[in-house]
Amino acid sequence: MNFTGTNLTFQPYYDKIIDDLICSNSARVEVPSKKIFLSPGDKIDYIYYVKQGQTMHYMINPDGMEKILYKLTPGWLFGETALFLGHTTGLHSQAVTDVVLQRMDGAVVRRFFKESTLFANYIVRNSCSKLLILRYEIENLTFNSCKNRIKRFYAASVDRIHITEEGWYNVKVHTTHYELGIIVGAARVTVSKLLNELCEEKFIRVINRNVQVNAKLYDQYMKECEIE
């Protein structure tokens, strides 16, 4: 995962041995798209393994502003922090698409954590990956302007394999202004204003509601990020 330009989405990760172990020792849970299935304060004595679909995990401040921490895809799990520390969850967890989860009870998790080095390493890998992306976000929110955070998001989402004849990259992740605000930590009206500025600067353009990034300016921007 490239933490210099992450869009907060974990790419699918599949290990057949881990997948078989979890699915054989857990209960299947189906969650429809857009449903919030965990909220701050919920006590959980289990972990969730994403078998199919995508989940979103975010915080909301007292004023109602939301901030996404990460999105998980098949092969990733969540709930391990609350389980091992004995805390309630501090996040909202929502299904982005229709989701199939495998729920493994805490007693089973602890047993396999002691008995299986492979499983223990898998748990640690999940936690460390989240720690890295959260560390990136602290840096991003502390040292980068909202405008630059939006540029980083789109730079991390370009499809570099295909380029239009005019020299533009398509963006693989499609978001509304509201959803983009949740990702970069800004109000929708601020996001709309900054997107207009980025269009005027020719860094992005919108074609049939799809965002494209100027390939030349993208390359220039990535070189500047390397220097920083």
Q: Judge residue 135's burial from the number of C-beta atoms within 10 Å of its C-beta, 0-12 exposed, 13-18 middle, 19 or more buried.
A: exposed
| Local structure of 31: helix, strand or coil | strand
| Local structure of 180: helix, strand or coil | helix
Indicate if the alpha-carbon torsion angle 68, 208, 11, 108 is positive or negative: positive
Write down the pLDDT at residue 136: 81
Element holding 67 (H helix, E strand): strand 66-72
Write down the pLDDT at residue 84: 94
Write down the pLDDT at residue 183: 83
Write down the pLDDT at residue 6: 60
Q: Residue 77's closest CA among 103, 97, 96?
A: 103
Write down the pLDDT at residue 127: 95
C-alpha–C-alpha distance, residues 10 and 23, integer Å: 20
* Architecture in CATH for domain 16-142: Sandwich (2.60)
Please tell me the pTM assigned to this model. Answer: 0.73
Give mean pLDDT in consecutive 10-residue pieces for the chain, a chain of 228 residues: 61 95 98 96 95 94 83 96 93 96 98 97 95 84 87 90 91 88 86 95 92 94 73
C-alpha–C-alpha distance, residues 228 and 216, integer Å: 19
Residues of the chain with CATH 1.10.10.10: 145-227
Residues of the chain with CATH 2.60.120.10: 16-142
C-alpha–C-alpha distance, residues 161 and 183, integer Å: 25
Write down the pLDDT at residue 226: 65
Write down the pLDDT at residue 1: 43
- DSSP class of 10: P
In the CATH hierarchy, which fold is given to the domain comprising 145-227?
Arc Repressor Mutant, subunit A (1.10.10)
Q: How many CA atoms lie within 13 A of 8 on its CB side?
A: 26
